[in-house]
Amino acid sequence: MVSITIVMVGLLSYYLMTLPPASESVEPALGTRLSRGSGQWILEVVSGRSAAPQTRIQVVNHTTGAATFSTPVLDSSPYFKYNDNNGNLNVDGGDTFLLNETAGFVEVDFKLLLFKPGSILAGPIRLNA
């Protein structure tokens, strides 16, 4: 019984040593520029890249700290529209987000974030007047 346990531990140790090391891919932050239009904000991505299917957009009420919405960027809504400038399914330079001023959801002084689970890509960005 002891010899079987020793053999099993040896095999497990050998298996674990032959596995390739885990690679950590650090997602670079997105560089952004915010501009204000009539009843809307335009957030332009100027640098960096993130896979669009995993990227989420969130707007946070500055008074309560609660998220007014948090959704994948590919799921446009009445509050925002994502424009992938080159159709490559990456949030990258030249892509834009159009945020419509909507009472209770997207307002002056609310904060905008772009993130993936576990990492903030851009923000918090204050939606200025």
Average pLDDT for residues 91-98, to the nearest whole number?
93
Q: Where are the domains of the chain?
A: 24-126
CA 119/CA 26 separation, integer angstroms: 9
Amino acid (1-letter code) at residue 4:
I
Is the pLDDT at 81 greater than 80? The verdict is: yes
What whole-number distance in Å separates Cα of residue 107 and Cα of residue 3? 69
Q: What is the pLDDT of residue 22?
A: 46
Residue 53, pLDDT above cutoff 90: yes
Percent of the chain with pLDDT over 90: 46
Q: Specify the pLDDT at position 105.
A: 87
For the structural domain made of 24-126, what CATH number should be given?
2.60.40
Segment 51-72 mean pLDDT? 91
Nearest to 110 by CA among 67, 73, 75: 67
Mean pLDDT for 88-101 is: 92
Q: Is it the case that residue 127 has pLDDT exceeding 80?
A: yes
